[in-house]
Amino acid sequence: MRDPRPNWTCLSCILLTFSLLCVTAENQCRIRNQVADCSHLKLKQIPSDLPINITALDISHNQLKKLPPANFTKYNQLIYLDAGSNILSKLEPELCQTLPLLKVLKLQHNQLHELTESVFASCSSLTELSLGHNIVEIKSNPFKDLKNLNILDVSHNRLLSTKLGSQQQLESLRELVLSENKISSLKKEELDFLSNTSLDTLDLSSNPLKEFHPGCLHAIGNLYNLVVNNAELGKNLTEKLCLELSGTKIKKLSLSQVQLSYIYKSTFRGLQTTNLTALNLSKNYLSMIEDHSLAWLSNLEYLNLEDNKIDHLSLYSLYGLSNVKYLNLRRSHVSKIEDFSFRWLSHLEYLLIDDNSFQEITPNMFTGLNSLKYLSLCNWTSGLHTVTNKTFSSLANSTLQILNLTKSRITKIESGAFSWLVHLKILDLGLNEINQVLRGHEFKGLQKIEDIYLSYNKQLTLTSESFAFVPSLKKLMLRKVACSSLDLSPSPFHLLQNLTILDISNNNLANIKDDLFDGLHTLEILDLQHNNLARLWKHANPGGPVLFLKDLLNLHILNLKSNGFDEIPVHVFKGLFQIRSLDLGSNNLNLLPASLFDDQTSLNSLILQKNLITSVEENVFGTVFKNLRELEMDFNPFDCTCESISWFVNWLNVTQTNIPGLDTHYLCNTPPKYHSSLVMNFDISPCKDSAPFKLLFIISTSVIILFIFIIILVHFEGWRIAFYWNVSVNRVLGFTEIDRQQEEFDYDAYIIHARRDRNWVSKNFIPLEENDQSQIRFCLEERDFEAGISEFEATINSIKRSRKIIFVVTEHLLKDAWCRKFKVYHAVQQAIEQSRDSIILIFLHDIPDYKLNHALCLRRGMFKSHCILDWPAQKGRVSAFHQKLQMALKSSSYIH
Ligand SMILES: *[C@@H]1O[C@H](CO)[C@@H](O)[C@H](O)[C@H]1NC(C)=O
Ligand SMILES: *[C@@H]1O[C@H](CO)[C@@H](O)[C@H](O)[C@H]1NC(C)=O
Ligand SMILES: *[C@@H]1O[C@H](CO)[C@@H](O)[C@H](O)[C@H]1NC(C)=O
Ligand SMILES: *[C@@H]1O[C@H](CO)[C@@H](O)[C@H](O)[C@H]1NC(C)=O
Ligand SMILES: *[C@@H]1O[C@H](CO)[C@@H](O)[C@H](O)[C@H]1NC(C)=O
Ligand SMILES: *[C@@H]1O[C@H](CO)[C@@H](O)[C@H](O)[C@H]1NC(C)=O
Ligand SMILES: *[C@@H]1O[C@H](CO)[C@@H](O)[C@H](O)[C@H]1NC(C)=O
Ligand SMILES: *[C@@H]1O[C@H](CO)[C@@H](O)[C@H](O)[C@H]1NC(C)=O
Ligand SMILES: *[C@@H]1O[C@H](CO)[C@@H](O)[C@H](O)[C@H]1NC(C)=O
């Protein structure tokens, strides 16, 4: 779509599909898995070009007048055929012959009138037949051959009686729908065609029933579920019906909207001899249940009394319902429930009494409901007001797990109000008018509580102890409860180690401490939207930004929408590796710090819509966009320049992420040239052109910096480079006799010293030679030079015959010209040829490096540290010096 230019492949492709369309134009049936859907196509003919192996065909909602068997011969694999909502007026008996496998035939909403005796003669494999909404009249036995039929729907026709045949038939029928006909009476002889049938459901709703003849319902083999909704039965006919049901297998009876305004003792008497388990009496304007009138229903498990006008439940109204598990009294205008009214319902598990108007919960209202699991008491018109420690005392022996008290006008919860409900798991107190300080005792005794809903209340003030009695909480909802400050220590949540969901949104919260969520290591969902937390993340905040998310290591979903944030500290999401969904929408964020989202590698959904973001850059979003499935960043004032959005546009072009509104709501704001144009239409090709320049810039800068570096290096460290260079060259070119063995040297060391230091040398070195263990031999000019050879030659020879050269560095040496010019030169040459540690410097005086360099062209840095020795000032350390000297002499002269 982004490139409207046509190309030739596409054009030929269009031509090809077009020509294909011409061939198949007569139908556009949708075919999938051997199912052909040809509905709503205004067809007047059966499509003739469908795959012959289809097993299901929907040709409903067309204009077919006939279903000619010949036109189906191709499709003889059909199992399902829906021809509903056409204008069929006639059926041909051969249809089923052509379709021998047909099981489901739907013909509802047609104009079928007369059904001949043979019309379904070949349809014995049919299991479902729908003839509703026709004008069928039945005279003979059209269904007699449907031996396998399970479901027959003849609703909304003009049937005057239930008689669908004059002989026993339909032995497989399970469901018969006869609703919306003109049946006014049930007669035995009109139902005995079903005498061999076990009906799961018989629906007779919306018929003008006036009479139930004796034995009518016994005529049916078995009947388990009878539906007679929306009929004017009243009390007399209801009673009659129940009498007719007595002794039958009936299990479920639905009598909704039958104008049963009173239940007398006699009304359900007939049901005494049944095992009825479910009774629906909803929408009956029922205003009175006589005492003991339901006592007949001892097997009842499900009773629906919703939407009536009962007003008053007396002590014996529900007498005898000892097996009822589910009782629905919603919207039944109950204004008074007498104490102990429910005591009979010892098996009741679900009690729904929402939308009623009774005045109060009396001390024994629920007494006896020992099996209760679920109690819903919502939308209580007159209101519960204060929940005291007596209110639910009647539930003390119950095993209640869920209590729903929403919209019950609760204003206050007193200490120990729920202490009776030790099994309670879920407590819903939402949408009330609670206005109090929660000190903790309100929830005392809720030992097993997991969820507490307190959302939408008037004003809840939390304390450090608010939830001290409910450490088992997993879910805590505190949305819109006007709790504007949580500046508490310790945090109200500090004991909730198992909390997984916390909602404190819509509270205008402005003050929280950074330890508010400390220890909530299992928290997965945190809702903080619609608060006022912006100040906490500002750099200018006294004491620095408040990093309140830091301990939520397991957080999956975080909602921070609408908090006025205009700054985000770079570390705020650090360590939150589990976040899947993050909503930062509707804030005032502009520049996000680089690497803000670097730990959010699991993020699926990121919402940043309605902020002030102008640029989307890789250093902020590169990591987080990688695994994103959904991004919402619309309604931001994007700056459509290369620097700001070219990376984003590039990403948009290749990403699979779902980005709703990308082609409508992602608009450029600046520069003026692009104002209101779409971000995704921003042309990034000029941005790419600048790339080589950028590269050039980087290269040239690097070259210059390198150059400057080299100059500085040469200036300050040139001598070192020159020295090492010489050493290396000699190594590489092999000028040396590296392989010279230890034994080839006559001396261990040649000693270079100033003439004036001669005495010092003799005094300190000769004793070393005399030491037996070391067997060191020094070459001393005065002693060891061969006679008769010039001093030049003698020096060179001696240096060559010595393994090491020792410089005795003194002020005198620096001044001694002979040493400086000649000996040092040869010594250094030797060092270059052999090794850096062939020279040992012994400093008698403290001589700075620059002087040494100046006088002898030597620097300390040229030699290994163990070859530089200082003559100790204290006598006591002389032996340590000797040790060092011996080490230096023994160290190998070769580079390894
Ligand atoms: C049945 O098939 C015949 C011959 O193909 C065709 O003329 C006729 O219109 C078809 N009738 C229907 C209702 O499809
Ligand atoms: C049904 O027939 C169509 C061609 O008419 C063929 O492509 C398809 O594989 C067949 N399906 C089966 C399950 O045989
Ligand atoms: C109901 O039956 C009683 C007597 O059985 C009769 O008096 C009364 O009129 C009947 N009510 C209706 C509405 O037919
Ligand atoms: C009701 O159930 C009992 C026991 O399950 C059974 O003995 C009795 O026949 C049933 N009554 C009817 C009318 O089906
Ligand atoms: C609350 O109950 C009254 C009847 O008591 C009903 O009219 C109203 O629709 C109910 N409201 C809700 C939201 O269910
Ligand atoms: C209920 O509260 C009252 C005071 O409001 C107290 O005297 C009484 O002991 C409490 N009852 C129970 C069972 O906690
Ligand atoms: C709970 O059961 C005990 C013992 O069965 C009984 O004494 C007490 O009255 C019952 N309380 C309620 C409220 O049902
Ligand atoms: C309580 O009832 C209200 C409305 O009747 C419903 O919306 C809410 O989900 C219920 N609460 C629980 C915990 O089921
Ligand atoms: C928290 O959950 C664990 C594991 O389900 C459970 O063993 C522990 O008792 C719970 N803690 C509280 C205070 O309920």
Q: What whole-number distance in Å separates Cα of residue 368 and Cα of residue 397?
A: 8
Q: Is the CB of 378 under 6 A from ligand 8?
A: yes
Q: Scanning the structure block, which residue is given the tokens 């249809």?
A: 95
DSSP 874: S
Q: What backbone phi and psi angles, to 5 degrees, belong to 217?
A: -85, -15
Beta strand extents in 192-349 (DSSP E only): 198-199, 201-203, 211-212, 222-223, 225-227, 252-254, 262-263, 278-280, 288-289, 302-304, 312-313, 326-328, 336-337
Nearest protein CA to atom 7 of ligand 1, as residue: 45
pLDDT at 5: 43
pLDDT at 862: 75
Q: What whole-number distance in Å separates Cα of residue 78 and Cα of residue 105?
A: 10
| pLDDT, tens digit (0-9, with 9 covering 90-100), for 392-411 | 999 999 999 999 999 999 99
Q: Is the CB of 215 under 6 A from ligand 6?
A: no
| pLDDT, tens digit (0-9, with 9 covering 90-100), for 616-645 | 999 999 999 988 999 999 999 999 999 899
- Which ligand neighbours the alpha carbon of 346 most closely? 7
**What band does 893 get if pLDDT is binned at 50, 70 and 90?**
low
How far is the centre of ligand 5, averaged over its atoms, from the C-alpha of 54 (Å)?
51
Q: What whole-number distance in Å separates Cα of residue 844 and Cα of residue 827?
A: 19
Nearest protein CA to atom 11 of ligand 9, as residue: 472
Q: Which of 439-453, 670-684, 821-835 has the lowest mean pLDDT?
A: 821-835
pLDDT at 484: 76
Q: Is the CB of 66 under 6 A from ligand 1?
A: yes
- Which ligand neighbours the alpha carbon of 454 most closely? 8
Q: How far is CA 128 from CA 72, 105, 177, in A?
A: 19, 6, 12
Q: What whole-number distance in Å separates Cα of residue 70 and Cα of residue 73?
A: 5
Nearest protein CA to atom 8 of ligand 3, as residue: 236
How far is the centre of ligand 1, averaged over its atoms, from the C-alpha of 470 (Å)?
75
**What band does 730 get if pLDDT is binned at 50, 70 and 90?**
low
Nearest protein CA to atom 1 of ligand 2, as residue: 53
Nearest protein CA to atom 4 of ligand 4, as residue: 275
Q: Which atom of ligand 5 is nearest to the CA of 355?
A: 2
Indicate whether 183 pLDDT > 70. Answer: yes
Nearest protein CA to atom 14 of ligand 9, as residue: 472
Residue closest to 283 by CA, chosen among 332, 241, 234: 332
Indicate whether 861 pLDDT > 80. Answer: no
**What band does 844 get if pLDDT is binned at 50, 70 and 90?**
confident
Nearest protein CA to atom 14 of ligand 2, as residue: 53
Q: How far is CA 786 from CA 766, 777, 792, in A?
A: 18, 16, 12
**Pocket test residue of 386, 389, 422, 443 for ligand 6, highest count of atoms within 8 A of CB:** 389
Q: Is the CB of 394 under 6 A from ligand 7?
A: yes
Indicate the pTM of the whole model: 0.74
% of the chain with per-residue pLDDT over 90: 67
Across the chain, mean pLDDT equals 88
Q: How far is CA 372 from CA 13, 397, 402, 740, in A?
A: 67, 9, 9, 103
Q: Is the CB of 389 under 6 A from ligand 1?
A: no
| pLDDT, tens digit (0-9, with 9 covering 90-100), for 139-160 | 889 999 999 999 999 999 999 9
Q: Which atom of ligand 5 is nearest to the CA of 356?
A: 5
| C-alpha neighbours within 13 Å on the C-beta side of residue 502 | 26
Q: Are 213 and 237 in contact (CB under 8 A)?
A: no
Nearest protein CA to atom 9 of ligand 3, as residue: 236
Q: What whole-number distance in Å separates Cα of residue 637 and Cα of residue 158?
A: 67
| pLDDT, tens digit (0-9, with 9 covering 90-100), for 216-256 | 999 999 999 999 999 999 999 999 999 999 999 999 999 99
Q: Which of 24-33, 287-296, 301-310 has the lowest mean pLDDT?
A: 24-33
Q: Is the CB of 315 under 6 A from ligand 8?
A: no
Q: Is the CB of 622 under 6 A from ligand 9?
A: no
Nearest protein CA to atom 2 of ligand 6, as residue: 389
374 DSSP β-pair partners = 350, 402
Q: How far is CA 286 from CA 45, 315, 345, in A?
A: 53, 18, 21
Polymer length in residues for the chain: 896
Q: What backbone phi and psi angles, to 5 degrees, belong to 458?
A: -70, -60
**What band does 867 get if pLDDT is binned at 50, 70 and 90?**
confident
Rounded to the nearest 5 degrees, what angle is found at the Cα of 24, between the Cα atoms of 23 and 25? 95
Nearest protein CA to atom 3 of ligand 2, as residue: 51
Q: Scanning the structure block, which residue is given the tokens 């005279």?
A: 139
pLDDT at 693: 65
Indicate whether 260 pLDDT > 70. Answer: yes
Q: What is the mean pLDDT of residues 300-329?
A: 95
Q: Are 323 and 346 in contact (CB under 8 A)?
A: no
How far is the centre of ligand 7, averaged over its atoms, from the C-alpha of 413 (Å)?
24
Q: Is the CB of 261 under 6 A from ligand 3?
A: no
How far is the centre of ligand 7, averaged over its atoms, from the C-alpha of 323 (Å)?
20
Nearest protein CA to atom 9 of ligand 9, as residue: 472
How far is the centre of ligand 8, averaged over its atoms, from the C-alpha of 540 (Å)?
44
